[in-house]
Every structure is written in C-alpha cells, then in structure tokens.
Amino acid sequence: MKIGVLALQGAFIEHIRILQQLGVSSPLPIRLPAQFKGLDGLIIPGGESSTLLKLMHSFEMFNVLRELILKGFPIWGTCAGLIVMGKTSSNNDEATLAVMDIAVKRNAFGRQIDSFETDLDIPILGASPFKAVFIRAPAITKAGAKVEVLAKLSDGTIIAARQEKMLATAFHPELSNDFRVHQYFISEFITK
C-alpha cells in the first residue's frame, strides 16, 4: 500500500508520522506530479489553501491530480485540503480542484485566535468521541446529493463528509493522538 501526502506546504509531516505508526510502509511526501504514479491514495494536509493551490499550479500538479481524482483516485483533504477539494469556496481568489460537491466557507469560525478543540460525535468511528482540533477551519455550507455527511458540530455545521473515494475533514486529525480517522481512510478508501 502506497499512500502519499502532498508536501508542498502545511502540516504534512504530522500525517506521515501517523501513517508510519499505523504501519503504512514508507508514506511518501509528494512534491512532483511524477510521484503520483503507483500511489494508492493521497492526503492533502492543512495549511493555507490559496498557497497550496498556487503551488499546485507552479509544480504542474493541479490538472494531473484533478484528472486522477475524477477517475476515482482516493483522496483525503484536511482543513485547507478540504477547501482545495470543494466545488466552491467563499473568500477565495484561487480556483479550487472542484472535485467534491460541497460548498465551503473559509475561516468559518473566525481567525487564529478563534481556533478551538471539541469532542465530536463521529458515528463511523464508533461510540467514543473524537477530540478534534480546529485551526482557522472551514465549514461545509452545502452538500450535494452524492455527499454523505459524516459529522456535524452541535449547531448543525457540517465538518466532515465523504463522496465516493473522497474524504474531507474541516479539523486536523493529524494533530491529535487519536488515529481513528487515518485508520478509517486506510481501511475504507485504500483498496490495496
């Protein structure tokens, strides 16, 4: 099983460390489009979505990755990664990959100072709550018919969803000691 983590910018090292702890052999930091060859799935980490999108163009990854995802390549976006995958996003000058049928609001909970941690009920992970870290996080404001909502905040805001082989979380599972979202991605999205 070969899982890559987009390593252009943001919290990619944390994802790689967790994948290693879960026994994924040599998770790969991805910086070149040629590295997509032979990959079984990719994580787009948190960071700054506008910067990530610009870098994806500079490194000639944007179109290659978009085509791959549209053909069913498994992908998981966390925070900025979710924004990159969404169909539309508010306050964003950069066009997104627009592969997942969700509308996204950037910085939906305010600025850095409004970052927070909360216990989430995520039924697909089992009964015990998941301590989720939100850092200038986005929210999903609209989910299309093919999108399955996986978690909401107590006020109803959607913060985790999947569509076919695409997983999106507004929070940072790579910053907690709970590896259940990573396990879920490996077992439900990666076929080999």
Question: Which residues are annotated as catalytic?
Answer: 79, 172, 174
- At residue 121, the 3 state secondary structure works out as coil
83 or 166: CB nearest ligand GLN: 83
The region of 21-29, 34-42, 46-54, 157-165 touching ligand GLN under the rule CB under 6 A is 46-54
CB of 119 to ligand GLN, least distance (A): 19
Cα distances from 8 to residues 5, 36, 38, 106, 187, in angstroms, run: 9, 14, 19, 20, 26
Strand 28-30 relative to strand 41-44: parallel, antiparallel, unpaired?
A: unpaired
x-marked contacts with ligand GLN along 87-106 as a string, rule CB under 6 A: -------------------x
Run of H or E including 120: strand 116-120
136 is an interface residue for ligand GLN by CB under 6 A = yes
Q: For residue 83, state whether it binds ligand GLN (rule: CB under 6 A).
A: yes
Specify the amino acid at residue 180.
Answer: R
- Cβ partners under 8 Å of residue 84, min gap 6: 44, 49, 52, 53, 56, 77, 96, 97
User: Can you tell me which of 27, 41, 46, 74 binds ligand GLN, judged by CB under 6 A?
Assistant: 46
- 171 or 184: whose CB is closer to ligand GLN? 171
49 binds ligand GLN (CB under 6 A): yes
Please state the separation of Cα 85 from the chain's center in Å.
8
Using rule CB under 6 A, residue 48 touches ligand GLN: yes
Smallest distance from ligand GLN to CB 11, Å? 7
CB–CB of 165/74 below 8 Å? yes
**Which residues sit at the interface with ligand GLN, rule CB under 6 A?**
46-49, 79-80, 83, 106-107, 135-136
